[in-house]
Amino acid sequence: MFGLSYVWHGVALTDLEELRIPLTLYLVLAGMVYLGLGLALTIGLHKAIGRELISLKVAFPFTSFLGGAVVGFFVYLIIFVLGVTFTKHGMVHLVVDILWQMVEQGMGGLAVSLGIIYDMHKRFLEQERAG
């Protein structure tokens, strides 16, 4: 998610050139935020699986992507309310930013789901070897 954010804001939109704080400080703070978001997505998906709100049998990666997209929508709402933004380009920029945030966090949810699938597969193989 952090890499996607850097590509979006730094390469595609060149928003990082308009920063009011040093780039290093921004990258450190953004890294901490994305670590927190990744942790929240991981814990949330594990809790949803444990409570059987998300099925591992039916489109688990897609469901995880949607969960991440919902998180992305709420993250953007918080950012918008706090007034933390790079530029003020009007409604089109706002809609594109919301959609991008949802895709970015959705990709985070997808990455978490693939990590969970890999971990389950690894444990299954270890149990097969032991048995």
pLDDT of residue 7: 77
Residue 118 CB coordination number (10 Å): 10
Q: Which two tokens stand for residue 12?
A: 């595609």
More confident residue, 58 or 16: 58
Long-range contacts of 33-41 (CB under 8 A, 24+ apart): 34/1, 34/2, 34/5, 37/1, 37/71, 37/75, 37/105, 37/108, 38/1, 38/108, 38/112, 40/71, 41/67, 41/68, 41/71, 41/105, 41/108, 41/109, 41/112
8 has pLDDT over 80: no
pLDDT of residue 89: 67
Average pLDDT for the chain: 85
Measured between alpha carbons, how far apart are the two ends of the chain, in Å?
39
pLDDT of residue 32: 94
How confident is the model over 52-65, as pLDDT tens digits? 888 888 889 999 99
How confident is the model over 44-101, as pLDDT tens digits? 999 998 898 888 888 899 999 999 999 999 988 888 887 766 656 678 877 888 898 8
pLDDT of residue 108: 92
pLDDT of residue 28: 93
Residue with tokens 């709420």: 74
